[in-house]
C-alpha cells in the first residue's frame, strides 16, 4: 500500500479517526442546543483537498452526515475556486441544502488546513441549529413550497478571513434566527471544534511528517475501496429491482414512486434510481448530495464494518435521474427529506435482499412522524411541543426486529413522557407497544407504538409530518408487511383522520381532546410458515398478536404449542 509501513498506517488510522472524535466531543460539550448536545445531530471530519472526499469522520455523529459532508466540502472547494484567494485561516459557512445536502437547519463550517503553505486537506463541522428563521419555528414546515418558506438560505461565505472573524456575517446570522443565544453557542462550539482539529493535525504532522500522513490517507482510501470490493465480490452477480411509494407530498394526495435497480458485476455495484417520481411541489424532495449520501448510509448498514471513508463508494455508482424528486434544484423545498431518504434505504434493502438475503434486515417503520402541538397558556405564553416518534425495526436473519427503535438515519432518543408533560400542557393517555403492528415472518418485525396525547389547556393546534399511511413497510425473504401508520385527532363529533393520512397542518384541539398516533412496526424476515409455533404462541400470550391474526398469518399450529 502506497509505500507506508503497516504499523504506522494502523496507528495513523486510529489517530486520525480520533481527531474527528475529539472534534465531535468538543462541540457536544460546548453546544447549548439539545439537538446537538443530546441528540448528537452533528458531525466532523477530514476531507480531501482537491475532491472533498471523506477521508476520516467521527464515530459519534449522525449517520446521514457520513457521506453528505463530502458535498458540503466540495461546494466550498468550488466557491473558493471562484473567490480565487483561499488562504490559511479562512473559514466558510453555509446552510444551503441544495449544495450541501440534508436541510437548511444544518449549518456547515468548512476550514482549509494548510501545511507549509500548501493546502493539505479540509476540516469540516456540521450541526443542526435550533432555529434558522423561515415561516415555522424550528424550520419544519410541512406546507412549504419553496426553500424560502423553510428558512433563510446562506450560500458559502467566509466567516473568517486569514484567521480574523468577520463580525458582519455573525450579525446577519444572529438577526435571522429566533434563538440567537442558542445559535451563537452552536457557532462558537463549531469554531472551537475546528480549532481543535487544526491543533491536533498540527501535532500529528509534526510527529509523522506531512508525506507520511498523506500516504496514510491515500492508503486508507485504498483500503476502504478494497474492503468494499471484497464484500461485493462475495455477492452474486445480477440485477435486482425494488420499488416503494411515498404517500404524497403534503400538497397533492398522489403517491410518489421511489424505484431502484441494484446491479452487481464482480466487485462493482450500480444503484440506479431511474423511474423515480419527478420533483414535486411539497417538501419531500431531496437534493442530489442527500441522495448520494443516503446510498452510503444504506451501504454502511448492510456492511457495518466498513470505515467512514469515500474509498467505500469508489466501486459503487449511484445514478440519480435529473428532474426526479431525488435531485431537486434550488429553490424546491426539501424540509421533509427524512421521509424520502428512509424510503430510499428501504428500497435498497429490498433489492439487496434478493441478492443476498442474509446481509440485510427487513424494512424498518420508515417515517419519523414529526408531530408538533402548539398553543398559548392561560397567561398568554406560547408553547410548542415538537418530537419525532419511534416504530419497529425489521426482522433479521438472527432475531425478531427491535420493538420501538429509532430511525436508521439517526441515533436520537425520544424524550421521556414525563419531561414532555412537565414542559407542556399535555398528558399521554397511552404510550405503549402497538399490537398487531409487526410484519409476520420466521423472524417477525419489531412492534410499532401507540401514543395518545390529550390537551390539558384550552386550545391548541397540531401539525404532523409523517409517512407510511398508505404503503406499509415490507418484509424480505418471504416475510410479511407491517401495519400502516395511522393518525387520528379528536373533535366534538368524534375521531377524524387527516385526508393525507399522515400529514396535516393546524388541527384545532380543545381541552380534553387528544391526538392518537399509531406507528408501523418493522417488516418480517423469512416465511411466516417457518416461525416456531411456540414463538407465535408467546406473542399471543403477551398480547403482541391477536389470536385471529395469529391464525390468519401463521395457521393453527401455535394453538397446541407450549409457549
Segment lying near another protein (by CB under 8 A), choices 10-18, 107-115, 133-141, 463-471: 10-18
Segment lying near another protein (by CB under 8 A), choices 102-110, 112-120, 148-156, 406-414: 406-414
418 binds another protein (CB under 8 A): yes
Interface residue with another protein among 88, 243, 421, 530 (CB under 8 A) is 421
If phi > 0 it is left, if psi is from -120 to 50 it is alpha, else beta; for residue 478 that is: left
Interface residue with another protein among 201, 262, 355, 361 (CB under 8 A) is 361
Q: Of 165, 186, 276, 217, nearest to 50 (Cα)?
A: 217
Would you say 321 and 126 are in contact if contact means Cβ atoms under 8 Å apart?
no
Encoded one letter per residue, x for contact with another protein by CB under 8 A and - for no contact, window 265-304 reads -----------------------------------xx--x
Q: How many beta carbons lie within 10 A of that of residue 32, not counting itself?
A: 16
> Nearest distance from residue 449's CB to another protein, in Å?
7
25 binds another protein (CB under 8 A): yes
Interface residue with another protein among 44, 48, 103, 404 (CB under 8 A) is 404
Instruction: Pick out residues in 173-192 that bind another protein (CB under 8 A).
Output: 181, 185
How far is CA 76 from each of CA 49, 83, 93, 488, rounded to the nearest angstrom? Answer: 11, 10, 9, 45
Strand partners, 491: 494
Q: What is the dihedral of CA 59, 63, 67, 73, to 10 degrees?
A: -70
474 binds another protein (CB under 8 A): no
Sheet holding 503-510, edge to edge: 382-387, 370-376, 459-465, 503-510
Interface residue with another protein among 51, 118, 413, 459 (CB under 8 A) is 413
Residues 6+ apart with CB under 8 A from 377: 383, 425, 457
- At residue 271, the 3 state secondary structure works out as strand
479 binds another protein (CB under 8 A): no
194 binds another protein (CB under 8 A): no
Interface residue with another protein among 149, 166, 354, 430 (CB under 8 A) is 430
Q: Which is nearer to another protein, 250 or 394 (CB)?
A: 394
Cell numbers placing 535:
414463538
Encoded one letter per residue, x for contact with another protein by CB under 8 A and - for no contact, window 503-542 reads --------------------------------------xx
> Nearest distance from residue 197's CB to another protein, in Å?
12
Q: Which is nearer to another protein, 52 or 185 (CB)?
A: 185
CA angle 197–199–204, rounded 5-degree value:
90
Segment lying near another protein (by CB under 8 A), choices 121-129, 156-164, 415-423, 505-513: 415-423
> Nearest distance from residue 119's CB to another protein, in Å?
27
Interface residue with another protein among 289, 390, 439, 441 (CB under 8 A) is 390
Is the C-alpha dihedral spanning 455, 461, 466, 467 positive or negative?
positive
Q: Which is nearer to another protein, 389 or 463 (CB)?
A: 389
Measured in degrees and rounded to the nearest 5, phi and psi for residue 262 equal: -105, 125
Instruction: Pick out residues in 297-336 that bind another protein (CB under 8 A).
Output: 300-301, 304-305
Q: Which is nearer to another protein, 334 or 509 (CB)?
A: 509
Segment lying near another protein (by CB under 8 A), choices 49-57, 269-277, 424-432, 510-518: 424-432
Question: Which single residue is written with the C-alpha cell 428501504?
Answer: 346
Instruction: Pick out residues in 195-254 that bind another protein (CB under 8 A).
Output: 196, 220, 222-224, 226-227, 230
> Nearest distance from residue 418's CB to another protein, in Å?
5
Interface residue with another protein among 323, 416, 506, 529 (CB under 8 A) is 416
Instruction: Pick out residues in 44-63 that bind another protein (CB under 8 A).
Output: 59, 63
Which burial class, exposed, middle or buried, applies to 530 when counting CB atoms under 10 A from its CB (0-12, 13-18, 19+)?
middle
DSSP string computed for 223-234: HHHHHHHHHHHT
Q: Give, as one character, the DSSP assignment of residue 476.
A: B
562 binds another protein (CB under 8 A): no
Instruction: Pick out residues in 70-109 that bind another protein (CB under 8 A).
Output: none
Size of the site for another protein (CB under 8 A): 78
Interface residue with another protein among 149, 166, 411, 551 (CB under 8 A) is 411
Q: Which is nearer to another protein, 323 or 416 (CB)?
A: 416
Sheet holding 106-115, edge to edge: 54-57, 42-48, 118-128, 106-115, 91-94, 157-161, 164-165
Would you say 380 and 360 are in contact if contact means Cβ atoms under 8 Å apart?
no
> Nearest distance from residue 326's CB to another protein, in Å?
22
Would you say 428 and 421 are in contact if contact means Cβ atoms under 8 Å apart?
yes
Q: Give, as one character, the DSSP assignment of residue 4.
A: -
Amino acid at each position: 500500500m502506497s509505500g507506508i509501513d503497516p504499523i504506522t498506517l494502523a496507528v495513523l488510522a486510529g489517530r486520525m479517526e480520533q481527531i474527528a472524535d475529539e472534534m465531535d466531543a468538543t462541540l457536544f460539550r460546548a453546544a447549548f442546543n439539545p439537538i446537538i448536545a443530546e441528540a448528537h445531530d452533528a458531525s466532523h471530519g477530514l476531507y480531501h483537498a482537491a475532491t472533498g472526499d471523506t477521508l476520516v469522520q467521527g464515530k459519534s455523529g449522525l449517520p446521514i452526515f457520513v457521506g453528505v459532508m463530502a458535498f458540503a466540502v466540495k461546494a466550498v472547494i468550488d466557491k473558493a475556486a471562484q473567490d480565487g484567494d483561499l488562504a490559511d485561516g479562512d473559514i466558510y459557512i453555509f446552510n444551503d441544502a441544495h449544495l450541501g445536502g440534508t436541510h437548511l437547519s444544518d449549518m456547515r463550517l468548512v476550514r482549509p488546513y494548510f501545511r507549509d503553505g500548501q493546502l493539505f486537506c479540509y476540516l469540516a463541522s456540521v450541526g443542526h441549529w435550533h432555529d434558522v428563521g423561515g415561516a415555522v419555528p424550528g424550520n419544519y414546515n410541512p406546507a412549504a413550497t419553496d426553500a424560502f418558506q423553510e428558512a433563510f438560505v446562506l450560500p458559502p461565505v467566509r466567516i473568517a478571513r486569514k484567521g480574523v472573524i468577520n463580525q458582519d456575517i455573525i450579525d446577519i446570522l444572529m438577526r435571522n434566527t429566533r434563538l440567537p443565544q442558542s445559535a451563537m453557542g452552536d457557532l462558537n462550539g463549531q469554531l472551537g471544534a475546528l480549532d481543535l482539529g487544526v491543533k491536533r493535525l498540527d501535532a500529528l504532522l509534526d510527529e509523522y511528517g506531512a508525506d507520511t500522513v498523506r500516504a496514510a490517507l491515500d492508503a486508507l482510501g485504498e483500503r476502504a475501496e478494497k474492503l468494499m470490493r471484497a464484500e461485493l465480490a462475495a455477492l452474486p452477480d445480477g440485477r435486482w429491482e425494488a420499488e416503494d411509494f411515498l404517500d404524497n407530498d403534503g400538497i397533492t394526495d398522489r403517491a410518489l414512486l421511489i424505484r431502484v435497480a441494484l446491479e452487481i458485476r464482480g466487485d462493482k455495484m450500480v444503484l440506479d434510481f431511474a423511474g423515480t417520481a419527478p420533483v414535486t411541489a411539497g417538501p419531500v424532495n431531496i437534493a442530489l448530495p442527500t441522495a448520494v449520501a443516503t446510498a452510503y448510509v444504506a451501504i454502511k448498514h448492510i456492511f457495518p464494518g466498513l470505515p467512514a471513508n469515500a474509498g467505500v463508494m469508489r466501486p459503487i455508482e449511484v445514478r440519480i435521474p435529473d428532474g426526479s424528486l431525488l435531485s431537486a434544484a434550488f429553490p424546491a423545498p426539501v424540509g421533509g427529506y427524512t421521509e424520502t431518504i428512509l424510503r430510499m434505504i428501504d428500497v435498497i434493502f429490498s433489492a439487496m435482499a434478493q441478492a443476498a438475503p442474509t446481509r440485510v434486515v427487513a424494512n424498518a417503520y420508515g417515517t419519523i412522524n414529526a408531530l408538533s402541538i402548539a398553543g398559548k397558556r392561560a397567561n398568554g405564553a406560547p408553547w410548542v411541543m415538537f418530537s419525532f416518534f419511534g416504530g419497529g425495526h425489521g426482522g433479521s436473519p438472527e432475531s425478531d426486529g427491535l420493538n420501538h427503535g429509532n430511525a436508521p438515519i439517526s441515533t436520537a432518543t425520544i424524550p421521556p413522557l414525563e419531561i414532555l408533560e412537565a414542559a407542556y400542557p399535555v398528558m399521554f393517555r397511552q404510550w405503549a407497544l402497538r399490537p398487531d403492528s409487526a410484519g409476520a415472518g420466521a423472524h417477525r418485525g419489531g412492534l410499532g407504538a401507540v401514543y395518545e396525547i390529550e390537551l390539558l389547556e384550552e386550545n391548541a393546534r397540531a401539525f404532523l409530518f409523517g409517512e407510511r399511511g398508505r404503503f406499509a413497510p415490507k418484509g424480505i425473504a418471504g416475510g410479511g408487511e407491517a401495519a400502516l401508520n395511522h393518525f387520528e385527532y379528536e373533535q366534538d363529533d368524534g375521531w377524524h383522520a387527516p385526508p393525507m393520512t399522515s400529514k396535516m397542518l393546524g388541527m384545532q384541539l380543545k381541552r380534553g381532546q387528544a391526538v392518537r398516533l399509531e406507528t408501523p412496526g418493522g417488516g418480517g424476515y423469512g416465511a411466516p410458515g417457518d416461525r416456531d409455533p411456540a414463538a407465535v404462541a408467546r406473542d399471543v400470550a403477551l398480547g403482541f398478536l391477536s389470536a385471529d391474526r395469529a391464525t390468519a398469518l401463521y395457521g393453527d399450529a401455535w394453538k397446541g404449542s407450549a409457549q
